Amino acid sequence: MRIHRTTWIALPIVALVVVGAGTGWWGYDQHQQRQAMAVHLENTYNGAYQAFVSDLEQLHNELGKAIVTGDAATYRTRLQNIARFSDAADAELSRIPVNVLPDGQIKTFTSHVGAYARTQLLTNPTPNAKARAQLDTDFGNTGTLVKKLQQLQPSVGTATASWVETLGLNKSSLPWARPVSGAAGSTPGTGAFVGNATSAHTRQTFVDGLKNLDAAAAKWNQASAAAAPTKPMVTGPRITSQEAVRTMAQLTGWTQSKPWQAAPSKAGANPPVYFVSGQTPAGNVYGKVTQRGGHVLTFHLNQTIGSKTNIDVVQAEQKAAAWLKQRGYGAFVPASTSRFDHTLYVTLSPTYRGTPVIDRTITLQIALDTGKVVGYEATPYYAHPMTAVPARRYTAQQLEKRLSPAFRVREEEPVIAFDTNQQAQPAVAFYGTSHGESYQILMNANSGQEMRNTQLTNHL
């Protein structure tokens, strides 16, 4: 039986959550669940934000070193590091549900930087004036991004401005964070947080700062699109806005109370999408459909979920896997499950010859009162198209011997993961702890090298 990470992960609350098969939240009362999950979310988002800023700092440093490097071998190393830190920054940003950035321009910018470095490695891996000019531009923009993010960092993740409350400021942000109309701490019917004036101002400063940075990144992306072409995240025939609406309606199965609308994203978005929104008998729906290929990346039904719990974790995971299979996605297995309020968030991975492909996840939100899917996030799935997988040459036991003795392995799992060149690789995921923090270390089972090292908690 697969052990869910939350049974041992180093969190400040002992036995925070147990969401393994046959076990769950049901032994805790609702207040304990909410408090435990709030602490878990604060740690997760704080750690991801700090790691994101740190990765950007490293990216900025490597860009500076590449600009002043004249040696060809050293230059190639710098380009490889730029691509690596770009990927790391993208991964950390993906862990923060910042739907206050609807176009995702910051993530597009960091992806552009990494893509340009990879292009140079393949086409012209020696120092040259044209590449130096682009690297210089990226260096300046990355420096601006780091400085602004460092200034914003004290505005969130504190006692007066928690992540959950901050995300709840925007009624199009986290579905479970939206205030209920007329509830304490909200303005009836608006979804706007009131609370303490100082804390509300602090949270609004953070949200506005991110929006301004996203707008600035949009301009950088437009300016660098020609110089640093990014491989499209998805391909396929271009669809119309009407086709985007039909695709969304077909996937969700929801009835349109009034005709839904679809608006195109701004220039520079990767991938270009249509923002679909409208009304159903159960509530408002919004989501994103790619302009090429017509893939639904996200959707959410904004409805009130009842307080009664009618399904458990195992049933929710089964419903999620069945929902995907019915829509032609094939076999998926649960990767993680968490609960907040009356919604379960079930993240699933597709399998390749029986092995989970951990980077191609889809997350479904399951209402606990009805057991129905009310939300969907498939961006990671479409961002990692499947490629050929090399053979495994190392066993998990052999790979574990290559880990540091300071890392205490608690769980291991054969997986398939994508390297910095977006190629699928056989791997083993080792989950464990060191000095009170939890980590995931991915080891390539074909080359024997470390692929990725992710800190899962941050208690500083």
Q: Is residue 337 classed as helix, strand or coil in its secondary structure?
A: strand
Residue 42 to residue 53: CA distance in whole angstroms: 16
Does residue 48 register a pLDDT over 70?
yes
Q: pLDDT confidence of 209, banded at 50, 70, 90?
A: confident
The confidence band for 337, taking pLDDT boundaries of 50, 70 and 90, is confident
Q: Give the model's confidence band at 224: pLDDT under 50 very low, under 70 low, under 90 confident, else very high.
A: low
Say what the pLDDT of residue 177 is: 34
* Average pLDDT in the chain: 78
pTM more than 0.85: no
pLDDT at position 267, please? 72
pLDDT at 392 over 90: yes
Sign of CA dihedral 423, 428, 429, 432: negative
pLDDT digits 0-9 by tens, 425-434? 999 999 999 9
Question: For residue 239, what pLDDT is reported?
Answer: 95
Residue 340 pLDDT greater than 80, yes or no: no
| Residue-wise pLDDT tens digits, 255-284 | 999 999 999 987 767 788 999 999 999 889
pLDDT of amino acid 249: 95
Is there a contact between 255 and 313 (Cβ–Cβ < 8 Å)?
Answer: no
151 exposed, middle or buried (CB, 10 Å; 0-12, 13-18, 19+)? exposed
- Which residues have C-beta within 8 Å of that of residue 233, sequence separation ≥ 6? 270, 271, 290, 382, 383
Is 301 within 8 Å of 279 (Cβ atoms)?
A: no
Question: Is pLDDT larger for residue 239 or for residue 180?
Answer: 239
